[in-house]
Chain A
């Protein structure tokens, strides 16, 4: 059983009160702050897959980029293998990056159209110090085979591949240096249904064979349910609920999680849905509400929710919710 990961299991990644605010110019010469990430904390254990779900604009991709320090956080701490990524110097960060990789949503946009596949896959080795070209060639042939492509495709350009094949190349690049953590940012959202399953299965195989831990970012609750050991639900830059996958889907305890699960169009005609109807849209992250971020859309809100912010609290071992009205 993968669930109930013991706390004794070693922690690979720990994120503490991570915040990222962006300054943007407004039309009337003013400067406003976009609160993309408002203090998120979680741990990812070795060998675990943690899902990060939420709607567009909830901050999940900003979380991915900030954790890898592709953008610098406003405040907070990120511990990867017990080293605080906030303090490490450039050289050290570069060597740590071997172990932390990312797969992007759009395979067409994330591979350089003017480079052959060989060049794209050589790059990680060139940067991180494989020198002999024989070694590189062997490694690239192995990578292609590992992700289900043929070795003779190595001289082709990205436009000669389908979306699914390009995503395989993106994955090959990510696993080239045998990382221990991969952040997968919507890796199958741009793909067709029949190809999605192929790519998900590939990610699953790699997890088994290469001991990779995933931070799996997605808006698709069905794929997350299938693939993740634990799930964190984000809303407006905060985690509003986090639990092991089974508990979260069985007993969603934040009204937002409940609404998300209820809104998913399901092909199981038997499932009678008690849909929690949510009106309105995600508030603008430039004008943060004073109290609970979900207040404006919440069907069960109370007075206190408008004035104070609920913090994450444990309602069952391993199941945390940020709502005054649950638990």
Chain B
């Protein structure tokens, strides 16, 4: 058992220090008719100082699994059915609400997609960040204000003094997301969970925010768990990536390997369906598409969940479910072909 969260592994000559370990996490939602399983037993570890991406389409369970880390799933209807999440030698799923509060925002912080709805519209930027600091640290109000100014500078907000007294609606989407990041960084967390942090932003602003996240990670050595649907963003910022489909991780590995030669037919299909940027004089043609749609939670197919859409489907894929297995160093895939 990995009860020791500082489980040292040798990896390419570097010491990898495990920061977070998720084991067999299952999450469900109950409806009036039946219980729908959104996350079907996922396992992974997040290492110190790394950026790990969790990528997948809507409804694949990526956000639910991330929210479960801090137990932010509303219960009911949501329920963590089973699993263990180790951080700091403790299973976060076994802590009392009060104990967990010491971790939320302090050791593990989150940034969400929509900064407008995540910020309080009736409090100024300054008040919101100062509140976080007063709650989790022993700083005085003045010290907290000083610190807030420093944080706003760190996230490269122009004229921070002025912004302290402004309300969220007075800022642009990009600036609001910087405020969210400043707030998340306020207690120097060890882990930052970023759920689609740039999805609502324009491409130039997205570039700025991704650069900012990279800079902060290098400065602070914190670990980032990045949730996204955008494979381009993954390539830009993450070192390792996990691909989710229908509540399960179907492939995981270093970004450079997985993007060069993906192995799972779903990942291969996704990569092929994305148009490339390279200028070409070729005639416009059709894109490769994955047929069908993501299965609904109520009707997850038997066997491999991807089999109805899979171009390489075999007989046993329809009845037997493949397990996520290691096929090379740090590389896992769940497919009968491998």
Contacts and interface: CB of A to CB of B under 8 A. Distances in A.
B247 interface: no
Interface stretch (A100-108, A193-201, A301-309): A193-201
A19 B98 CA distance: 59
Nearest to A200: B287
B277 A193 contact: no
A219 B203 contact: yes
A246 B278 CA distance: 9
Interface string B233-271: 111100000000000000000011001100000000111
A80 interface: no
A246 B281 CA distance: 6
B280 to A, nearest CB: 7
A156 to B, nearest CB: 15
A194 B290 contact: yes
Contact of A192 (B58, B172, B204, B232): B58
B289 A193 contact: no
Greatest chain A CB density within 10 A among B57, B259, B269, B289 is at B289
Contact of A229 (B259, B274, B284, B289): B284
Contact of A271 (B174, B208, B229, B278): B278
Contact of B204 (A1, A228, A263, A271): A263
B276 interface: yes
B207 A263 contact: yes
Interface string A271-284: 10001001101100
Interface in A49-71: 49, 55-56
B10 interface: no
Nearest to B158: A280
B281 A265 contact: no
B61 to A, nearest CB: 14
Contacts of B205: 55, 281
Contacts of B235: 265-269
Interface in A253-268: 259-268
Contacts of B288: 197
User: Which 9 pairs from chain A and chain B are nearest by CB?
Assistant: A265-B232, A226-B275, A197-B273, A263-B207, A249-B279, A55-B202, A197-B289, A250-B279, A265-B236
Interface of B: 57-58, 172, 174-175, 202-208, 210, 229-236, 255-256, 259-260, 269-271, 273-281, 283-284, 286-291, 293-294
Interface of A: 1-3, 49, 55-56, 162, 164-165, 192-198, 200-201, 204-205, 219, 221-223, 225-229, 245-246, 249-250, 259-269, 271, 275, 278-279, 281-282
